[in-house]
Every structure is written in C-alpha cells, then in structure tokens.
Structure 1
Amino acid sequence: MPTFKNAKIFLGTNATSFASAMNITDGVVTHTGETAEVSDPDAIDLHGKTVLPGIIDTHTHPKYIADALHGVACTPPKVNSIADMKAALKKSPAYGQGPAVWIEGWGFDESKLAEHRSPTVDDLDEVSTTQPIFIYRSDCHSSVGNSKALTLAGIDANTPNPVGGTIGHFSDGRPNGYMKEVAATQLLIQAKSEQSYLADVDNMANSSTHYLKNGIVGIGELMGRFRPYDSLRLYQDAMVDGFKPKTAIYYVFNELMPGQVIEPTSQDQLRIAGIKVFMDGSISGETAYNKAPYPNGSQGVLLTDAGQLKQAVWYAVDHHLQLAVHAMGDAAIQLVIDVTADLTPWLTDRPSIRIEHASLLSDQMLKEINRARMNYALVTQPIFFFAEDESYRAYLSDAQFKTAYRVKSMLNSTAPMALSSDAPCTPWDEPDSPFVNIYAAVTRTAANGDVVNANEAITVPEAVLAYTNIGAQVGGFTHNGQLRRGYAGDFTVLDQDIFSIPAEKIKDVHVEQTWLAGEKVYQK
C-alpha cells in the first residue's frame, strides 16, 4: 500500500486540480490529498516532482513500432538522402545475418530527401539482394522493398494491384519496389510476418519499455489483423513475455472474411474494442481525399465510399463495436459526417464513431458535428504538422492550410478531442513522444520554426487532459486517465514541471518514472 508525498500531482479531473499526496491500495488509488496529511513514515518522497495520470496513446501502431525499434530510422536529421539511407541500412544489426532475416527501416519522406524521390528496388538492391529489405514511408501507408522482398511476396511484373493499393512499376513494366497505400504494403508485410511470428512476439515484448519510458500505460492498436495471424494472439503471447501497456485492438474492417464475426471483450489489460475503416490516405503522400485538388491535379484517393462506410457502421452496430474512421482530407471527413451524422449512437460508454486524424476541419464541418445526433470523438495528431510542415505548405492551398489540426476548435466542439501519436507514421525520430505532440498543440510551432495557425493553440493542462482523461474516455480505458479514488494507480513522474516551464522547453520533457498499479515499472 504505497503512499506518495511531496509531489505536484495533476489529478486529470479538470485543468486546475492538483494534490501533493496519494495512496494506492491493491493497485487502485484510494486517496489523494496534501502532504501535511501524511503520517506514514514509509511514504515515498517524490521531492516536488510533477506527476501525471498514465498517458493513453489511443491511436498508435505498436506492431509497427516494435518493428521500428529494431529497424533503421530513415528520417532527418541523420538520413537526408537515399545515399544516407543506404549507408544507414548497411549499419543495421540485421545486415549480414542471413537470407531469412529482414532488414527494416521506417520514416522516409521523399520530399525531405535530397533526390526528391522515393527509393526504388534498385537502390535497396545496392544494400543487399540476398536479404529482404522493407522500409515504411513516413505515413505508414506506403512502403518500398528490394527484389528479395518482392520475390518473397510473389510480386512480379504481372501481379495485379490489390483493391485500394498500387504496385509501382518502372517504364519497362518491372516492379520498382514502391507499394502505394495500405493494401499494397500489406503484400510485403504478410510475407515478412509469415516468416517471423516468434520474432514478432519478441519484438513486441521488448517494446514494452519504449512505452513506459514515454509514460504511456494504455495504447490503441489501430491496425488489428487476422492475417497472417491474429493480432489478439500476438498481444496475448507478448504479455506472457512481459509486455505491460493496456491494449485495445481495432481490426481493419475491409480485411475481414465474409461472415467473420468480431465480438468486443472487456478485459482491462487486453480487449477487442472496435473496427477500423480507411477513408483516404495521407496529406504528405498527396493521397488524403480533399475537396480542392493538390498541385498535381489529383484530389487524393477515396478508399471507402458511402455504401462501404454504411456496411461498416451496421457491422459495428450489430456487434456493439466502436468504429474508428481514418479520415485526413476534408472531403473524406465530410463524407463521414454526411453518412453518419443523423444516425443514432449505439454505444453509451464511449463515442460510437472516432474520426481519426480529422486533419482538415472547416467551421461548417465543426457546426455539423455539433448538431449531429451521432456521438463522435476527434482523435488528432499535431505532431504531423510539427514534422511535416513543408509537405502541408506545398500540397495545401492557403485556405486548406488554415483548417489544419484545429485542436482549440475541436476542444470547443461537442466531440471529445484526444491527442495521440499515430506512431511511427510521421518522419520524426521520436514519433510517439507525447511531449513533442503537446508542444505542437500548445505552441503551434513546427520543427522548422514555422507557426501553424496560432489561433488554434491550447493550454498545457488542456493538452495533458487530451492525453489522459479524454484519451481514456475515447479509447474505453475506463479505469485510467485520472488519479482519484477508484482509478488505476497508473502514473508517470516527469523530470520537469510541464505546467511551469517555458513553452519552448515542453518538447524536451522526459519521464523519470512510470508506475503501474502502484508498482514502479520504469526508472530513467
């Protein structure tokens, strides 16, 4: 029954409530109050440190992160060209380990590379032709593979494009290694995963510390799959081997087999929470579905039409699942609103529909969300404009840019707004740092110094609530998000007081300790 004293404990109940002492019994908070009340001689002295409720990253991709942690970061500042990328891949611990070992990388954005193009199969074959190579683009929608990877995936000049994806080709018809959008990328991922389930379990278990050192105690897995194996099984086995964050899985809807049934589960540690639908792609990839065209004349890609979205809604209703809808472009978001606004919500414990990213929102769209019968949540990531400002400036009109990541307007809407990372799907070497994301939401300043819609800035307490209380509400982590009686004794101790330091230092905050159920599980 640990007691903690001499701390600055943000309770997570509202923007202004703090305590300085806390009791945890049997893993649950039993009292919060002031240090003067503490008589326990064995109370743990936190020496004035700031304490937050355990952070909830309600939209992330843990399987991808587990891969990335042993892969190569193909991002600035270390990788700024394809030549840099090839050199970095040759330094991978996997390099030279034999034909069954994949060399992996993540995070490239062709607009940030000196060559201003994506790497090709020929580029990667200069690294190795005997080991398969797989590299995620920064949006985690598209990817590139070498010839060995393409062979293992059964891809040649005659392989048809999967529905919703494109296999890139050279002018002579030969596959160029570029796999555009999720459906195409999955061809490589399935080939990779079929060879290495036990390695995937080990990678997942080993990634646990990565979350804990960021103060993250709960995660939403927004890319649940049944092929080549069930994601639920992966997490079950990883948790046996020590994976600690609480996890909610959302299965990709269009990958379900006809007649396949998903039922929600309610376990606190690991549960099936919902289904995921992709409406469109990404802004940096010029595939988000927009009302106004990109400079190249395209309006992006629409991956799910109105009829298909309705099918996903009815499936979610029938099986009492939450529906998470990836929608970055304003046309994609508008279609979600048009199809679902007048429907009756089917969940009462959390929003029935989560609009993931909600990257471009006009005043009119926010009004429609406010008037809707449907109970929406908005799950968004300011770290995208922080890391990808150049792409947003290049690909969006001035009018579109002014609607980007309107976190203050979202916060003032009827839909709860949660911050999340979507990691590792952005070109930043700390893609799921909550403090970089909070910095972006509070300062509206990108990594390159550009100020992005300063009028949409929110306060530090508001941003922290969006990562704790609101993140827990949206993701169904009912015992988390607050530090008050009856809630889980999951919290994190910071190395700086995020509430008082200058705003420009927020991104440099780090976690000193993370506690789960009143037990210390991470110490810096």
Structure 2
Amino acid sequence: MMPTFINGKIFMGTGTTNFVSAMKIEHGKVTWIGDSNEISDPDAINLNGKTVLPGLIDVHTHPKYIADALHGVACTPPNVNSIEDMKTALRHSPALGKGADTWIEGWGFDETKLAEHRTPTVDDLDEISTTQPIFVYRSDCHSSIGNSKALELAGITPTTPDPVGGFIGHFPDGRPNGYMKEVAATQLLIKAKSAQSYQGDVDNMVNSSEHYLKNGIVAIGEMMGRIRPYDSLKLYQDSVKAGFKPKSSIYYVYDEVAGNTKLKPTKDNQLRIAGIKVFMDGSISGETAYNSQPYPSGKNGVCLTDATKLKQTVAYAKAHDLQVAIHAMGDAAIQLILDVTDRMEPWLADRPSIRIEHASILSDEMLNQINTATMQYALVTQPIFLFAEDESYRNYLSPQQFKEAYRVKSMMDSKAEFALSSDAPCTPWAEPDSPFVNIYAAVTRTAVNGDVVNAEEAISVPEAVLAYTSWPAKIGGFQQNGKLTPGYAGDFVILDRDIFSVPHDEIKDVRVEETWMAGEKVY
C-alpha cells in the first residue's frame, strides 16, 4: 500500500509552525511532503481539512499495568469517591464468580480522595470475596491492597519481613492489613498474580493494543521491565507475535538485573531493550517522595537509593551501553541525582544518558545545575498529576515547593531534553494516559477542580504536541518516529478537531479518529 494524502493540516513535528497539506507514504515510510496542489493522483485520500499529527509517543508508561487495569475495575474519580463506592465497583467486576484461580483486579484509589480518608483494608476487600484473590493498585502504582486470599497466595503472614524498600501494613494486633506500601511490597502480590497465568498476561497485553491506538499512541516506554517471574522481553515478543502493535522500549528495574552481564541494548525498531530503571523515592500523594522539607506528618518521605547505589547503577548502565531512567519526585531525590552525576561524562551519543523521570519539584538552582552539567539529561514529566492530584500537592508541599512543581516551561527551556508522558495508570483519573488531558494540563495549568497552578509555567499547544512526538522520540530511542518528513515512519494520527485552534478548554476533549502505522490504518 502506497497512499497519498491531500487537503490536511499536517503537523510535521519539526517546529512549532511547520505544517504541510499533503504527503506520500511508500513501503511504510514518508517519501514526500508538500502542497496538495502538487498532487494529481485521483486515488489520493482526501483529509478534508483534518489535523494530522505524527504518531504520539508515551515514553514513560506501564503497559503491563495498563493491560491488567483494562480488564480490571477503575477505582478512580469521578466515579469512585469512597470505599463503599469501591466495593460496589469491584462487585461489578466481570471476574467475580469466575473461580478461585481468577483474580479480581482494580486500580487508581487514592485514600485522600475517598470519603473515609483512609486506605481500604483486607477486611474491606474480604467483604467482596474470600475465595478469589483481589488486588487493587493505589493511584501511584507504587502501593496496593490485597484481600486475604491474595495475601495467602503471596505467602504473607504476620511474621513476613518487609522487603527492602517496601512495607507490609499491619493491624494493631499484628495481622497483615492488606496494604502493601511501595513497589517492593506490591511486587509480592504481583508475582503471585503473574505466576498463575503467563498466557493470561499475554492475552491482556494483546487486548490493550487497541487502547493505545485509540489514543493515537504508536510507541511506548515500558518503565517496569522484569526478569521475574518471567522476562518482560519474552512477554512483549509473544504479545507482538499475537498482534500487539505499539513500538516498545523496555527499561528493566535495576534491582532485578544487577550482576546480569547479558543485558545489552537491542536496536529492533518494533521492540528494543533500551535501559534500566532505578527508584530514588516514592510519590508525593503517598507522602513517600523524598523531600528536603517535611510533610505535615513530620516525615520527609523515603530515600530508596543512596549515592553509593546510584553510582553503581550508573556504572552498570555505562558498562552495558544502556540508558538509565531515574524515578525522582521529591526535591531531595532530584538534588541527590544531580550532585552524584552532573560532572560525569555522557556515554550515549544518540540520546541522553540519564533520564530524570517526573522531576516533580525543580528549583532555579537545580535547573542551573542541569544547564551547567557535563552530563546530558532528559526530563520526562507528567502534568496530569497536577490535573488530578492538586489537593494532595497543596496539602503535602510547602508553598515554595508547590511553586516549583511541574515546571514544564522551565524544563523545556533548559539544556535537558524534555518530554511529556503519562506514567499511566499511576494517577487517580479514569483516563490516565490520555495525551490530550496531559497536553491540556501543560497548556492551561488548570486542575480538574479549577485550580490554576503556576500559570507562568504554561507552554503552547505546538510545544506540548512536540513533547508527545519528536522530543520523546529522541529521548526514548524511537529514531524513526516523531516527525512526518521523508525517511521517517508513516505513523500518524487524524484528530476529530484542530487541537491548534480549539479553545484551550476543549483540548482535553480532543479524540483520535484514525491511527495509521507504516502507512496502514490500524485504528
């Protein structure tokens, strides 16, 4: 198939004002762009003035979690606002009653948004079932809750020790209360769940493919690659064979691959090993982001990686030609990264050697440190968190920290490479990976409750679109994507309205009409 397209408003992805009206795609790649008047092909596809963007790239997301969530129950606003609402929603799960081997799953609760203002417990979930395991992610995807059956399958008893970097919740009498705080603890439940049905995980991944294409997302960064209970690369390989379409870069959690001398980058356009992932801290809404100033509770969050371990991580990445992506939300966590790495020499030539994921709180001093560093950084952030979690940020951060939250314009203007992403499904919103909600938040700085947050950090619509196309392509190693110019992949989306001219309030309501990959319509 060698289609030609005319009469469009085609955003090239090469700058904020660069548009053409026609393009040709041959053998999966763009071969020509120009003006519709130059085309005489009677079979050309008429775009009828529609807006076309390069295929969108979500360079920091959790596809395995999303695949689980899509067949799970959304426990998020605006539909779930209390523990009782959550119970009702979980009772309507299609998995209920399917037998003891079928997990009932949910995602997205945030105890600060629940009417009861507490975390649900094993007793709450046991009201739904004690014979089927139940697993529900917290909104940050760091923490979770399980019912008694899930705890049993994971081997969690009153005497189970906390895993390194994680915490198992207990009632005053010592009984596990079902709350698994931080990634290391949550993984105990996830491994029990995944061990039960590898083929089920493959099926869920394949079923999630249309979800990405519906959102116009043609490439993704998997930020939670695992070796156990099976290798994430095998999961993706088997999923691609069965029909999973988005191009994917995998970042393995460093704690699982440390000492593994076989982990090397791969260059396949469809599926590649790109880097390693390390956690400096937790989340702001969970009061576990590592901050210089204490939360109202008096605590400063958790530091999951100290300077020594961070140096080991970077040395491993450098030795194996891998990018290192570092989760850091708190200002103390980000400062630690900069102090350890800013004078190191970059080791990758084709993309930034170090990605700072979230970079939620950045001071002027930190930005100056980034701009004068020897190291080449990328800043990959998610203003959708401000959109969905404004109250938590206002409650948990000092006024100065709040002014330094999600400084997208300052990030964009810095020496670092910059991109927007979703971190889906790790935010309490029913559409956690909608690119258009994220773009809306970056452009308007307006939360769902109407609060305008640091308006001076707003960016323009074309800049936000570049932050979902050509900029993340460079950061995530998707070298053939991000632009609609000759030589690049024929991956693009057609929108239902012109994102560049609609009132800003409508940006979050933009939808994708069609998604094309390699010149073929896939949605």
Give the match for residue 374 of structure 1.
375
**Residue ranges of structure 2 left out of the alignment (5+ in a row):** none
Cα distance in 1 between the residues matched to 2:8 and 2:282: 44
Cα distance in 2 between the residues matched to 1:468 and 1:219: 11
Give the match for residue 254 of structure 1.
255
**Cα deviations across residues 191-250 of structure 1 (Å, max 9, x unaligned)?**
000001100000000100000000000000000000000000000111111000000000
**Cα deviations across residues 120-140 of structure 1 (Å, max 9, x unaligned)?**
000000000000000000000
**Cα deviations across residues 146-195 of structure 1 (Å, max 9, x unaligned)?**
00000000000000000000000000000000000000000000000000
Say which SS state the counterpart of residue 467 (structure 1) adopts: coil
Cα distance in 2 between the residues matched to 1:404 and 1:491: 32
Say which SS state the counterpart of residue 488 (structure 1) adopts: coil
**Residue ranges of structure 1 left out of the alignment (5+ in a row):** none
Q: Is 1:346–2:347 an aligned residue pair? A: yes
Q: Is 1:192–2:198 an aligned residue pair? A: no
So what's the TM-score if we normalise by structure 1?
0.99
Change (3 A) 1:317 1:273: same
Give the match for residue 100 of structure 2.
99
Letter in 1 for 2:17: T
**Cα deviations across residues 421-462 of structure 1 (Å, max 9, x unaligned)?**
000000000000000000000000000000000000000000
The 5 Å alignment of 1:469-488 reads: 469-488=470-489
Cα distance in 1 between the residues matched to 2:262 and 2:300: 34
Give the match for residue 395 of structure 1.
396
Say which SS state the counterpart of residue 156 (structure 1) adopts: coil
**Cα deviations across residues 9-55 of structure 1 (Å, max 9, x unaligned)?**
00000000000000000000000101111111000001100000000
Give the match for residue 80 of structure 2.
79
Give the match for residue 439 of structure 2.
438
Cα distance in 1 between the residues matched to 2:262 and 2:312: 14
Letter in 2 for 1:400: Q
Letter in 2 for 1:2: P
Cα distance in 2 between the residues matched to 1:34 and 1:419: 30
**Cα deviations across residues 272-306 of structure 1 (Å, max 9, x unaligned)?**
00000000000000000000000000000000000
Give the match for residue 272 of structure 2.
271
Say which SS state the counterpart of residue 251 (structure 1) adopts: strand
The 5 Å alignment of 1:497-508 reads: 497-508=498-509
Cα distance in 2 between the residues matched to 1:76 and 1:466: 27
Give the match for residue 206 of structure 1.
207
* Residues 264, 322 of structure 2: 8 Å contact kept: yes
Change (3 A) 1:259 1:517: closer
Give the match for residue 450 of structure 1.
451
Change (3 A) 1:41 1:245: same
Cα distance in 1 between the residues matched to 2:265 and 2:472: 19
Cα distance in 2 between the residues matched to 1:493 and 1:445: 26
Letter in 1 for 2:281: D
RMSD: 0.5
Cα distance in 2 between the residues matched to 1:77 and 1:465: 29
Letter in 2 for 1:165: G
* Residues 258, 316 of structure 2: 8 Å contact kept: no
Q: Is 1:284–2:273 an aligned residue pair? A: no
Cα distance in 2 between the residues matched to 1:159 and 1:215: 44
Give the match for residue 333 of structure 1.
334
**Cα deviations across residues 353-393 of structure 1 (Å, max 9, x unaligned)?**
00000000000000000000000000000000000001001
Cα distance in 2 between the residues matched to 1:328 and 1:131: 35
Give the match for residue 229 of structure 1.
230
Letter in 1 for 2:170: H
Task: Please state how far the C-alpha of 1:79 moved relative to its aligned partner.
Answer: 0.7
Moved over 4 A (4+): none
Percent identical residues? 74
* Residues 257, 263 of structure 2: 8 Å contact kept: no
So what's the TM-score if we normalise by structure 2?
0.99
Cα distance in 1 between the residues matched to 2:162 and 2:125: 22
